[in-house]
Amino acid sequence: MRRYQKQTGELKQVICNCCGRELNVDQGILKEGACHLEPRWGYFSGKDMEKHSFDLCEACYDKIISGFSVPVDVTEETEFFPMEDGETE
Ligand SMILES: [Zn+2]
């Protein structure tokens, strides 16, 4: 879960939706690994046209993917483009 400053759009707070831990945000920048997901559910789902959004800390992410029957695909990125933290929902 992410909270932004209303006036500036600056990232204020990131909370892991799984364990409830507040992640380290310093001056609008998230300073630790996190997984931000925004699944959009279409007409053929049971959540007709809902958009969800949540954040997972790295520990919760690791715990969840370790339960997968098929492991996640892992590739190396040559450049890292962090998410636009000023982006509002
Ligand atoms: Zn967590």
pLDDT, the chain, mean? 91
pLDDT in tens, 25-55: 999 999 999 999 999 999 999 998 999 999 9
Distance 51 CA to ligand 1 centre (A): 21
Distance 71 CA to ligand 1 centre (A): 20
Distance 54 CA to ligand 1 centre (A): 11
Residues around ion ligand 1, judged by CB within 5 A, are 16, 18-19, 57, 60
Q: Report pTM.
A: 0.80
Asked whether 64 and 18 are in contact (CB, 8 A), the reply is yes
Q: What is the DSSP string of 13-38?
A: EEB-TTT-PBP-EETTEE-S-EEEE-
Distance 31 CA to ligand 1 centre (A): 15
Could you state, in order of their start, the residue ranges of all structural domains in the chain? 2-65
